Structure 1
Amino acid sequence: MYFLIGLSASLLGAMAGLGGGIIIKPVLDLFGHYDLATIGVLSAATVLAMATVSLIQVRHMDANVDKKIGLLIAFGSILGGFLGKGLFNFLLNQVNSASMIGMLQSGLLAIILAIIFLYVRYKGLLKSYQLYSKGIILSVGIILGMLSSFLGIGGGPLNVAVLYLLFSMNAKNAVVNSTFIIFFSQLSALALIAVTEGFGDYDLSMIGYMIVGGIIGGFIGSKLVNKLANVRIELVFNSTLMMIILLNVYNLIKYIL
């Protein structure tokens, strides 16, 4: 089951630049087998495997990684990730209720994803931009990293929406650049845990199955995205996003009841 979760999440994540964490987090939250911190580690490891395989395939794809923009956002995401992780730990200690934090995450995630869904659905009616300021791009990365780390989602849909809006990228370029950013953000998240608290307190018995699923899903997804037209990629993105919104709403109701 955990292999299939890693496989399906990474397949959709690689195809639409979602990363996979946006799917893994609410699905594992729904099952309730692991606490929120462990879910974050399982998700980060799976997504890192997916992103690594996907980026290896980029040279064969009809899309380009903008390393200048990608590295600035990625570096900002790493800084923001520290802030988001700190905020998560602070609230967890203050509230002392994983259920309350889970409810907050599910509610915020449903709202943010609904906004992204509407934007991508109607972005043709809205103006897009092309940012060049390094300071602003870095600040965008910090905000993305903080939100992604706090919500435990890897940042995929947030990255894609920002790349559409602020850098006028098409769907394929947004997918590969989002994956590029995700790679560094997830690598830094796992490295931070490794050098601070370590992994000894986490139940990672299923991590191997999920990583294998992430590798296979990343390989297949990156092959498919190269064959799909931009409009098809956006359809996959929006369809997956709607499914995740409904799942988060269900999780929110479950926490409330």
Structure 2
Amino acid sequence: MLAIVFAIAFFASTIGAICGIGGGIIIKPVMDAVGAADVATINFLSGCTVLSMTCYSVIKSKVSGDSKIDPKIDTPLAVGAAAGGLAGRQMFSAVASFFGDANIAGAVQAGTLMLVTVGTLLYTLNKEKIATHNVTGAIPCMAIGLVLGISSSFLGIGGGPINLVVLFYFFTMSTKRAAQSSLYIILFSQAASTIAAIVGGVSNLDVALLAGMAACGILGGIAGRAVNKHIDDAAVDKLFCGLMVAIILISGFNVVRYCG
């Protein structure tokens, strides 16, 4: 099982670094599908893997001088997302407590993820026909970031495709520019969520598994950056759309599995 989990973490982090989706949107549903751990533990492990990958990617881009981050836009987005990450974590805990059954909470999470991914795919396929905007100002950016943080943390995906759609629509970013911005946002929101989880206490955690997944996250970040340099925006879009189809199918399977 360890080899499978590490392979999932590496593959997800590689794709996440290429597309700017973090990787949690792959790790979370796939680990749910293979039954690697309970829902809460998978959320935490997925978040730590995403955190390690985004931390490496953002720092490496800055050091290499190829960072496209605009502090006036991206930093307020990231700060808002960090606050939203904490709120989203509390929302999931409330849902889990309300149902009193981890499987039902997992089904709600998987079903919501499936619907969000369908919407993301439809937007991506039609984005050339949709008018976009150029939002400016710290307060509007923080508000948008807050919504991103809440949704990604609640779904346990650390950011994912939701970020890209929002960045395309509200800021008219190119695919690769949006990918860098998304990873920057995910870094802040995931760091806040992970710290909160650690402070709150994490039970039944395998430290070796956590360390291995975090290492795979960094290795995936290295591989993803290498690939990203050799492909254009159109190739990234195609990879992203293919991934969305796969996630929709896996999330649908997870809904059935949790409800069965």
Which TM-score band (shorter chain)?
over 0.9
- Name 1:2's counterpart in structure 2: 5
- State how far apart, in whole Å, the 2-side matches of 1:219 and 1:74 are: 22
Deviation at 1:69, TM superposition (A): 1.6
Deviation at 1:68, TM superposition (A): 2.0
Deviation at 1:85, TM superposition (A): 1.2
Q: Is the 8 A contact 2:85 2:190 kept in 1?
A: no
Q: Superposed, which structure 2 residues align to 1:1-257 within 5 Å?
A: 1-59=4-62, 60=64, 64-195=68-199, 197-257=200-260
CA deviations on 1:36-60 (whole Å, 9 max, x unpaired) are: 1111111111111111221233244
Deviation at 1:63, TM superposition (A): 5.5
Sort the Cα spacing of 1:200 and 1:36 in 2 relative to 1 into closer, same or farther, 3 A: closer
Gaps of 5+ in 2: none
Deviation at 1:203, TM superposition (A): 3.7
- State how far apart, in whole Å, the 2-side matches of 1:61 and 1:246 are: 38
- State how far apart, in whole Å, the 1-side matches of 2:235 and 2:193 are: 31
Deviation at 1:207, TM superposition (A): 1.1
- State how far apart, in whole Å, the 2-side matches of 1:88 and 1:145 are: 13
Question: What SS class does the counterpart of residue 206 from structure 1 fall into?
Answer: helix
State the TM-score, normalizing by the size of structure 1: 0.95
Q: Is the 8 A contact 1:38 1:204 kept in 2?
A: no
Deviation at 1:72, TM superposition (A): 0.9
Sort the Cα spacing of 1:61 and 1:111 in 2 relative to 1 into closer, same or farther, 3 A: farther
C-alpha RMSD over aligned residues:
1.5
Gaps of 5+ in 1: none
Deviation at 1:204, TM superposition (A): 3.8
- State how far apart, in whole Å, the 2-side matches of 1:125 and 1:158 are: 19
Number of aligned pairs? 256
- State how far apart, in whole Å, the 1-side matches of 2:231 and 2:59 are: 18
Q: Is the 8 A contact 1:76 1:141 kept in 2?
A: yes
